[in-house]
Amino acid sequence: MMHLTLYRGGRAPVPISQDDFETWDSVADSIEDLVSREYEDKLDMLAFAPHRLREPYRNLANVIEVTMMVIDVDVCDANKLARYLDTLGIDALMYGSPSDDLTKSNERRVRVVAPTDKPIDVASCGPCRLSFAEALGLYPGCGVEGALDASRLFFAGRLKGTPPREVWRFKANE
Amino acid sequence: VTLKVDDLPAPTLDWKGTHAKRTPRPGTSPHLARAHALAERLEPSVSGHDGDNSLFKAACELATVLHEDADAIETVLLETYNPRCQPPWPGVKIKREAERAAKREDAPEMRWARRHASFLPEPAPAPVFVTSGDIIDWNAPEQPIDWYCKGLSIAPSERKITIIGGDPGSGKGPLADYLATCFALGLDVFNAFPVKQCNVGILDFEGARLTARRIRSHVRGLGHEPAELTGRLIVRDTEPSEMIEIGWLHDWIAGANIEVLIIDSYMSAMACSDADPNSPEYAALARALGALKIVAIAIAHARKRGADRRGDRPSLGDIAGSYALGGMAATAIAVWNPDDEDRMLCRIGCMRAPDEPFATIDVRWTKGGAEDTPLWIPKLLGTSTRESREARADADLRKANDITLSKHTLKIMRHMALNPATPQSVNAISKSTGIHHRYVGLVLGAMARAGYAYHDADGSGRGAGYYTLDAEHVVSDIMIRDGEAMIAPEPEAGEHLGKFRKPST
Question: How does pLDDT run across B312-335, given as a tens digit for each residue?
Answer: 677 777 775 555 677 788 899 989
Chain B, window 429-448: residues with a beta carbon less than 8 angstroms from a chain A beta carbon: none
**Contact A75/B24, CB-based, under 8 Å?**
yes
User: What CA–CA distance (Å, rounded) separates B203 from B249?
Assistant: 10
Confidence band for B458, pLDDT divided at 50, 70 and 90: low
Q: What is the mean pLDDT of residues B437-453?
A: 77
What are the pLDDT digits (tens) for B363-422? 888 876 555 555 677 887 777 666 666 676 666 665 554 555 666 777 787 787 777 677
User: Taking phi first (over 0 means left), then psi (-120 to 50 degrees means alpha), and beta for anything else, what does residue B169 get?
Assistant: left
**Contact A116/B3, CB-based, under 8 Å?**
yes
Which of the residue ranges B157-161, B242-246, B268-272 would you say has the lowest mean pLDDT?
Answer: B242-246
User: What CA–CA distance (Å, rounded) separates B22 from B26?
Assistant: 11
Q: What is the mean pLDDT of residues B53-78?
A: 85
Alpha helices in B232-356 (DSSP H): 246-256, 266-269, 284-290
* B258 vs B34, higher pLDDT: B258
Residue B46 DSSP symbol: B
The Cα-based distances of B97 to A141, B27, B45, B51, B119 in angstroms read 26, 18, 13, 12, 33
- Write the residue in A74, A83, A128 that is nearest to B108 by C-beta: A83
Report how far Cα B100 is from the mean position of its chain's Cα atoms.
31
User: What CA–CA distance (Å, rounded) separates B224 from B221?
Assistant: 7
- Write the residue in A116, A127, A137 that is nearest to B10 by C-beta: A127
Q: What is the mean pLDDT of residues B176-193?
A: 91
- Give the per-residue pLDDT at B373: 53
Q: Is A11 on the interface with B (CB under 8 A)?
A: no
- Give the per-residue pLDDT at B118: 42
Highest mean pLDDT among B158-167, B197-206, B286-295, B428-437: B197-206
- Whether the pLDDT of residue B218 is over 70: the answer is yes
* B179 vs B502, higher pLDDT: B179
Q: What three-state secondary structure class fits B390? A: helix
- Whether the pLDDT of residue B226 is over 50: the answer is yes
Confidence band for B45, pLDDT divided at 50, 70 and 90: confident
- Give the per-residue pLDDT at A73: 92
- Give the per-residue pLDDT at B450: 72
**Contact A89/B11, CB-based, under 8 Å?**
no
- Give the per-residue pLDDT at A24: 92
Q: Please tell me whether the peptide bond between B489 and the residue prior to it is cis, using omega within 30 degrees of 0.
A: no
User: What CA–CA distance (Å, rounded) separates B449 from B424?
Assistant: 17
Residue B154 DSSP symbol: B
Strand partners, B361: B348, B383
Q: What three-state secondary structure class fits A80? A: helix
**Contact A90/B18, CB-based, under 8 Å?**
no
Share of chain B above pLDDT 90, in %: 9
Confidence band for B23, pLDDT divided at 50, 70 and 90: very low
Q: Is B11 on the interface with A (CB under 8 A)?
A: yes
In B, which residues are within 8 Å of A99 by CB distance?
Answer: none
- Whether the pLDDT of residue B176 is over 80: the answer is yes
- Give the per-residue pLDDT at B323: 59
pTM of the model as a whole: 0.45
Average pLDDT of chain B is 76
* B273 vs B121, higher pLDDT: B273
Q: What is the mean pLDDT of residues B231-253?
A: 80
**Contact A145/B18, CB-based, under 8 Å?**
yes
- Give the per-residue pLDDT at B427: 82
CA neighbor of A109 nearest in space, from A59, A169, A165? A165
Count the Cβ atoms, other than its own, within 10 Å of residue A136. 26
Confidence band for B311, pLDDT divided at 50, 70 and 90: low
Q: Is A50 on the interface with B (CB under 8 A)?
A: no
- Give the per-residue pLDDT at B109: 54
**Contact A87/B112, CB-based, under 8 Å?**
yes
User: What CA–CA distance (Å, rounded) separates B235 from B254?
Assistant: 16
- Give the per-residue pLDDT at B27: 47
- Give the per-residue pLDDT at B497: 40
Q: What three-state secondary structure class fits B3? A: strand
In B, which residues are within 8 Å of A112 by CB distance?
Answer: none
Q: Is B135 on the interface with A (CB under 8 A)?
A: no
Which of the residue ranges A80-94, B124-138, B266-280, B441-455 would you say has the lowest mean pLDDT?
Answer: B124-138
- Give the per-residue pLDDT at B496: 43
Average pLDDT of chain A is 89
- Give the per-residue pLDDT at A109: 92
Which of the residue ranges B51-65, B184-198, B296-310 would you say has the lowest mean pLDDT?
Answer: B296-310
- Write the residue in B5, B108, B124 that is nearest to A128 by C-beta: B5
- Give the per-residue pLDDT at A32: 93
The one-letter amino acid at B47: S
- Give the per-residue pLDDT at B117: 40
- Whether the pLDDT of residue B174 is over 80: the answer is yes
What string of pLDDT tens digits covers the 174 residues of chain A? 899 999 998 778 899 999 999 999 999 999 999 999 999 888 889 999 999 999 899 888 899 999 999 999 988 888 888 888 888 888 999 999 998 888 877 788 999 999 999 999 999 999 999 999 988 888 888 888 888 889 999 999 999 888 999 999 998 876
Confidence band for B341, pLDDT divided at 50, 70 and 90: confident
User: What CA–CA distance (Å, rounded) separates B411 from B424?
Assistant: 14
Which chain B residue shows the shortest CA-CA distance from A146? Answer: B19
CA neighbor of B336 nearest in space, from B357, B361, B306, B358? B361
- Give the per-residue pLDDT at B392: 67
Interface test with B, best of A25, A66, A145 (most B CBs within 10 A): A145
Q: What three-state secondary structure class fits B404? A: strand
The Cα-based distances of B154 to A57, B260, B354 in angstroms read 79, 10, 9
